[in-house]
Amino acid sequence: MTTLSFLTPPAKPRTRDVGNADSGRLRFPVLGGLTVHESIVYDELVSERPNAFVEAAKVADAMAVAEKITRVEAFTVIEKAVGGQELEDDAQSLRLRYASAINSVIHIFSTSNQYTKEAAVTALIRCRQDQSEWSVEDTRTLHCRLLNDIYTLYQDEVDAEAVPSASISEEELGKPQLDSGPQVKRTGRKSPTACSITSPASTTEAVSAAN
């Protein structure tokens, strides 16, 4: 593998043991952030799952055409069904006629957080346990304690990316630093569900704009 001539070499990986006697224990390196490969694996896994908002929009389109109503009206029925809100008689009739399609949207939305958690754990196992063929289905066979511990490590690594890097002193570099202009400071937390499904309840305005 080609190496880089670092001014300061990367820190040696620390390790963290996860799990317990019941779940089995694994040892993971702690890198202070995700690698590019880990981020790519995670994004690819999440992209394989249907998006609840997109699926809701498809159902709304079909309802709008068949029932001769606007997409906003159709989407509102789905939105309220997802949120468990009470529907008026006409809307409830639509809800029942399209029960199967709407229930599919509800299932995708309600399980999205769990899936993104499984995708994150799968990405870490693939990359840090040298298990390139490990799948989300494999992750679902893990003990809950082990799953949760690995996911906590994933979240900690994501949080670590938001910590500003310490400045390198002139002594460390062995020469004066050139002025590189204003520095952009990373702030905020990159959520492990950044690619997760958008709630239909938060996107009615987007549907309205599309009409």
Residue 35 has pLDDT above 80, yes or no: yes
Half-sphere exposure of 111 (CA within 13 A, CB side): 12
The pLDDT confidence band at residue 11, using thresholds 50, 70 and 90, is confident
Rounded to whole angstroms, the Cα distance separating 45 from 126 reads 12
Residue 24 β-bridge partners: 20
Given a cut of 70, whether residue 191 has pLDDT beyond it is no
The chain-wide mean pLDDT, for the chain, equals 83
Question: For the chain, which residues make up each domain, given as ranges?
Answer: 14-48+112-161, 52-109+203-210
CB atoms within 10 A of CB 125: 21
Res. 142 pLDDT band, cuts 50 70 90 = very high
**161-190 pLDDT per residue, tens:** 887 766 555 555 555 444 444 443 333 444
For the chain, what's the residue count? Answer: 211
- Rounded mean pLDDT of 185-209? 42
- The pLDDT-based confidence of 146 (bands split at 50, 70, 90) is very high
> Can you give the pLDDT at residue 20?
97
- Using one digit for the tens of pLDDT, what is the confidence trace for 106-140? 999 899 999 999 999 999 999 999 999 999 999 99
What is the residue whose two structure tokens read 């880089």? 4
Q: Is the pTM of this model over 0.85?
A: no
- The dihedral of CA 135, 140, 146, 148: what is its sign? positive
Instruction: Name the DSSP letter for residue 1.
Output: -
